[in-house]
Amino acid sequence: METQRWTVTIDIDEQAGRTHATARLQTRDTDRLVGVGEARLNPADRDVPEIGAELAAGRALSALAHQLNDVAWRDVEDAVRKLRAESGPTAG
């Protein structure tokens, strides 16, 4: 079996107490999956940029994971539908 390498790139931008992260999945076949996450500094809290980056990146990765699961389930449904069509109608 061939080993596949998938790469996730996370771009993080912080401006005015808001942190925005974009996670992009690159596979051999696609680069269309993108997850976005945001974090906002509570005005009562001390500004710790690393925390905002971690929260935004985690949310972006979570969104990306949900999209990847949705794609996988659609692929499973398509494969089952194709298998049923190839095997013909069943007696019922």
pLDDT for res 90: 63
pLDDT band at 92 (very low <50, low <70, confident <90, very high): low
What pLDDT score does 46 carry?
A: 84
> Percent of the chain at pLDDT above 70?
97
Instruction: List the one residue out of 90, 84, 12 whose CA is nearest residue 51.
Output: 12
Question: How confident is the model over 7-29, as a mean pLDDT?
Answer: 95
Q: How confident is the model at residue 67 (pLDDT cuts 50, 70, 90)?
A: very high
d(CA 85, CA 69): 24
pLDDT at 19: 97
Give the model confidence (pLDDT) of 40-56 as tens digits: 998 888 888 899 999 99
Three-state secondary structure readout of the chain:
CCCCCCEEEEEEEEECCEEEEEEEEECCCCCCCEEEEEEECCCCCCCCHHHHHHHHHHHHHHHHHHHHHHHHHHHHHHHHHHHHHHHCCCCC
CATH topology of domain 7-86: Double Stranded RNA Binding Domain (3.30.160)
pTM, to two decimals: 0.83
> CB-based contacts of 17: which residues, under 8 Å, 6+ apart?
40, 41, 43, 47
